């Protein structure tokens, strides 16, 4: 799932301007996308639409898996 989120985010912002951190807690995995200050608005999108779309796609891709994935976008 990390590679999938990396692909999605990499299409929106430069690969050098973010990093992805996984926090594994058994059946739940938090995916934190740490984005540079100048790119965070671009990744979140107008009214949070892009961030919501990323979360929706990740949730749909994880259907049928044994784990629940949450995506968090934070400024680094």
Sequence spans of domains, the chain: 2-75
For 5, other C-beta atoms within 10 Å of its C-beta total 20
For residue 43, give Cα distances in angstroms to 10, 33, 40, 64: 10, 10, 5, 27
Handedness of CA 48, 52, 70, 16 (dihedral sign): negative
Residue 1: what pLDDT?
94
The H-or-E segment that residue 66 falls in is none
- In which residue are the tokens 């796609």 written? 57
Q: What's the whole-model pTM score? A: 0.91
CATH number of 2-75: 3.30.300.20
- The model's pLDDT over 14-49, given as tens digits with 9 standing for 90+, comes to 999 999 999 999 899 999 999 999 999 999 999 999
Beta-ladder partners of 46? none
């Amino acid at each position: 799932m990390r590679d999938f989120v990396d692909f999605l985010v990499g299409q929106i912002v430069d690969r050098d301007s973010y990093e992805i951190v996984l926090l594994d807690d058994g059946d739940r995995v938090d995916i934190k996308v740490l984005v540079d200050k100048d790119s965070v608005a671009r990744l979140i999108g107008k009214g949070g639409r892009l961030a919501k779309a990323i979360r929706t796609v990740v949730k749909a891709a994880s259907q049928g898996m044994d784990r629940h994935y949450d995506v968090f976008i934070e400024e680094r």
